[in-house]
Structure 1
């Protein structure tokens, strides 16, 4: 059953009230029907416009591109870890530090 506004002819939308009853209202002229529908069922849908960021799924764990090395993890003794290098300023000169992350327990250590 489709209902139209008596004032402007626009399609009436269902509106659920606090007491659970449903009335119909016009989005154009904001007029609300005096008739309440307690025994009829209406499906109320809302269109959600998602942003591009909301629609994007990022999977980080499966695409780790860091190289791996055969080193022993000091925490779990696993023999494989990802590694990367970073330059740190120690005193007055730059020093390169190698960091490792165990592929099993994710423990991070440096050498």
Structure 2
């Protein structure tokens, strides 16, 4: 999409006709931009994904208060937990759990 530099309206495209090259023109003012026959292709640039930082680290969770919650992975009966407000204020808090079984250590959450 191209916009008119004088009035900022969306430019319309007109196909080549009777020896005249293709052009963009403004429907409200006399601005016209003729297109060249050769089109320059811009180089594509790869997007680099940022590393996602966890909301709560495993160490923060394991050092937190404990509760009797059953791990969905190993059925161990104790887990450390932490609560955070991840949504709007009128929504309930999200509870993050970490299994205290040394061989498991799974993390899960309840919204």
Q: Same fold (TM over 0.5)?
A: no
TM-score, with length taken from structure 1: 0.38
TM-score, with length taken from structure 2: 0.38
